[in-house]
Amino acid sequence: MVAKRRILLGVSGGIAAYKAAALTSTLVQRGDDVDVVMTAEAQRFVSSLTFASLTARPVYTSLWDLPERIPHIRLVREAQVALVVPATANLIAKLAAGIADDLLTAALLAARIPRILAPAMNEAMYEDPATQANISALRARGYEIVDPERGFLAERERGVGRLASEERILQALDRALARRLALKGKRVAITAGPTREAFDPVRFLSNASTGATGIELAREAALRGASVTLLLGPTQLEPPAGVTVVRIVTARELYEAALVHAVGADLVIATAAVADWRPAEHRDSKLSKSGEDLTVRLAPNPDVLAALGERKGSTFLVGFAAETDDHEAHARKKLRYKHLDAIAVNDVGGERGFGTGDNELVLLWGNDGRRELGRSDKKMLAARLLDAVEELMRCS
């Protein structure tokens, strides 16, 4: 029997709502706690009494159910995963647009837990370009979609749109729960953002990194149960809640902080874009423009990642390689001489990969281990990267 978990089950208004009752019974029988949220339309197909009887728990149908407890926030904070069976075209459209006009959509919008949708509708509705665009948008934001199957539909037609089998829905649920708990009890340190190396009080050497990738990795690791320390360089982005943030500015500050907070961690992911050099001399006052050429002598900064590799011990150490040419060859060289367990490489030619937009990563390990993580937003890539790293950690 699967260990007891807390599941938020949303039921929206389609004929397949009756199958959500059977699924609820299965979840309860295997020992899970299930909180059910029903839309007004779902109650036209199945009574809330059905779910209350199956779960022996209250069924929530309105934002005004126990408003003093703020149910749309409390429910998703107490649950480990949110699952919607069935997810109608209307619900999917509202989520894609960020509309939160009832308890279920408000809860899903507020959720920082895995969110799974099992669509069910007529084939024409499912294949309509608007529905497909909405599903694609939700996938890109981290929702898992359990695709519907081909079969007999309520309209006495055969086509794609039939709710996925209970077995497939349970598999998706268990995968999400496993990811959610995979790092429970683990200590994770992540470096993120740029460093700045001052030349005078107003000028410095730096790069275009925003720290977005490291921030999303910290957020995802915390969601998976880890105790996370984020060593964060100068950025306008806000770090996630629930993690310890150590602010740094220079490469030398990051080096010192890493030796304190990263050495001995179970997992270290070094995404920071660390300046390799710094001005050899720092001026205490601003250098005025003279119209003459200026030569600035640079001194090397300490190699933070190499230092962590030398002290790695049992830590699983993941580096990042931002390259403009011969990407994988350069990354494999770093993998070897910095004693890394894995390295994520991306093409930053033309400043691709920097900023808060999409990125594309390839994860390398060992002599020839390689996995393409694809192109996506950084939130989704963080989840894919941690999935891959967790798998490697289990095998190491």
Active-site residue list: 207
372: buried, middle or exposed (CB in 10 Å: 19+, 13-18, 0-12)?
A: exposed
Distance in angstroms (rounded) separating the CA atoms of residues 300 and 197: 11
Distance in angstroms (rounded) separating the CA atoms of residues 146 and 165: 9
Distance in angstroms (rounded) separating the CA atoms of residues 158 and 362: 41
202: buried, middle or exposed (CB in 10 Å: 19+, 13-18, 0-12)?
A: exposed
Distance in angstroms (rounded) separating the CA atoms of residues 303 and 297: 19
In whole angstroms, what separates CA 233 from the centre of its chain?
20
Q: What is the CA radius of gyration of the chain?
A: 25
Sign (positive or negative) of CA dihedral 266, 271, 272, 275: positive
Given the DSSP bridges, would you call strands 359-365 and 369-376 parallel, antiparallel or unpaired?
A: antiparallel
Tokens representing residue 241 in the block: 């809640």
Could you tell me if 273 and 250 are in contact, meaning their C-beta atoms sit under 8 angstroms apart? no
Element (H, E) at 298: strand 298-300
One-letter amino acid at 165 equals S
Packed helices 71-78 and 103-110: angle between N→C axes, nearest 10 degrees: 50
